[in-house]
Amino acid sequence: MANKALQFAPFSSFLDAGFWHKLSDNKLNIYGLDESPKPIHGFYFNGDPVGVPCRMNVEYTAFDEISKTPTRCFKTVGTLHNTNTIDSFKECDKKSLLEQSGKQIWEDIVSGKAVEDPTLLSRFLLLTYADLKKYVYYYWFAFPCLCPPLDISMVTTPVTLDKAFSAEQIKLLESSYDRFQSSCSSFVGYFLITMDTEVQVQEVKCMDKHLADSKKVTFGFADPCTLDGHPGWPLRNYLALIAQKWGDNLSEIQVLCFRDRSKDGVRNITSSLVFTVKFTSMKELTECPKCVGWEKNERQKLGPRIVNLSSSMDPSKLAASAV
């Protein structure tokens, strides 16, 4: 049987209205005509109910210097490119912006920085133009991902956790996961699971210790996707990291897409997916692999989105609707 190529559910951007308020404020009071890139941040969550898109949230808190990621959510590192005119928004070289961002991820992987702090794998770009007179905002997200030279294929089809692990193991995994997350300063989206006599969740950097017995290691990540046949976007750069760092020692790995749902006061991690993938080493790669990730718009075309907040921000419209 031919192995099936692995497909990832892309991130969908979710912005709250408060973000545009803060951006407008910053544009007027701080940035002025400054178009230089600004650091912002967002987050994703792995406990959404079935059917909800694989979302990344960027909120009014995105501009805070010290980011406070909500509990149980996973931080993403973003760069805001706010342009002054609609023309520079349109003409800006999106390809090179994405390449730069991909390069940064690649450098962090090669230098080992991303092994220490895997959050660096979860990057995003946000290109905006704010028409402050009309309260209309143009925006385009990119969630950069490094593409391996050859497609990654699935050796086994994804199964839910309860089919791959015993009830006992699931319980141990859950408690070990909680211990691991509470030992970190904020929730970490990428980790290792070792199954021996006991189930242990560990940091990604511990992989070096397990190269000899790599068979019992499962690569886990917090999965914002809710589909039962596909993993979410964060796995892509994670696999790139694994292929670059340990690709020579591993060719097949087991992956756990960790989904941490709860409903009616009952926690349920059994909708997590487990499968085995096969990939080629990226260790010998001297150049940064190609990078994809611009988000498609409502019509599934590569283009920006637009949001019109005049009905809730324009003082004259607000006054009219108050009567």
Which residues in the 234-253 window bind another protein by CB under 8 A? 236
300: left (phi over 0), alpha (psi -120 to 50) or beta: left
Report how far apart, in Å, the C-alpha atoms of 192 and of each of 81, 210, 216, 227 are: 34, 10, 10, 22
* DSSP structure string for 250-307: -SEEEEEEE--EEETTEEE-TT-EEEEEE----TT--SPPPEEEEPB-TTSSB--EEE
Residue 224's nearest CA partner among 45, 12, 24 is 45
Select 216 or 296, whichever has its Cβ closest to another protein: 296
Select 217 or 241, whichever has its Cβ closest to another protein: 241
| Contacts of another protein in 180-199 (CB under 8 A) | none
Select 65 or 196, whichever has its Cβ closest to another protein: 65
| Interface segment toward another protein; rule CB under 8 A; list 109-117, 158-166, 190-198, 300-308 | 300-308
- Contact status: 83 vs another protein (CB under 8 A): no
* Torsion of Cα atoms, 41 then 293 then 233 then 116, to 10°: -60
| Contacts of another protein in 85-114 (CB under 8 A) | 90, 94-95
Which residue of 85, 157, 249, 308 would you call a contact of another protein, by CB under 8 A? Answer: 308
Q: Total number of residues binding another protein (CB under 8 A)?
A: 81
Which residue of 157, 249, 251, 321 would you call a contact of another protein, by CB under 8 A? Answer: 321
Select 67 or 156, whichever has its Cβ closest to another protein: 67
Residue 274's nearest CA partner among 195, 175, 204 is 195
What is the Cα–Cα distance from 256 to 275, expressed in whole angstroms?
7
Q: Identity (one letter) of the amino acid at 165?
A: F
Select 117 or 131, whichever has its Cβ closest to another protein: 131
| Contacts of another protein in 149-178 (CB under 8 A) | 151-152
Task: Provide the minimum distance between the beta carbon of 197 and another protein in the complex, in angstroms, as a whole number.
Answer: 30
Question: Pairing state of beta strands 159-160 and 4-5?
Answer: unpaired
Which residue of 76, 79, 176, 226 would you call a contact of another protein, by CB under 8 A? Answer: 226
Select 194 or 231, whichever has its Cβ closest to another protein: 231
| Interface segment toward another protein; rule CB under 8 A; list 34-42, 160-168, 246-254, 298-306 | 298-306
| Residue tagged 């408060």 (tokens) | 18
Which residue of 75, 81, 123, 230 would you call a contact of another protein, by CB under 8 A? Answer: 230
| Contacts of another protein in 16-75 (CB under 8 A) | 16-18, 20-22, 25, 45, 47-55, 57, 60, 68, 70-72
Answer whether 144's CB lies under 8 Å from 267's CB.
no
Select 12 or 214, whichever has its Cβ closest to another protein: 12
Task: Provide the minimum distance between the beta carbon of 205 and another protein in the complex, in angstroms, as a whole number.
Answer: 26
104: left (phi over 0), alpha (psi -120 to 50) or beta: alpha
- Kindly report the three-state secondary structure assignment for every residue of 83-128: ECCHHHHHHCCHHHHHHHHHHHHHHHHHHCHHHHCHHHHCEEEEEE
- Contact status: 289 vs another protein (CB under 8 A): no
Q: What does the DSSP 8-state code read for residue 31?
A: I
**323: its two tokens:** 């009567």
Burial class (CB in 10 A: 0-12, 13-18, 19+), 12: middle
Select 215 or 267, whichever has its Cβ closest to another protein: 267
Which residue of 4, 8, 26, 210 would you call a contact of another protein, by CB under 8 A? Answer: 8
- Contact status: 229 vs another protein (CB under 8 A): yes
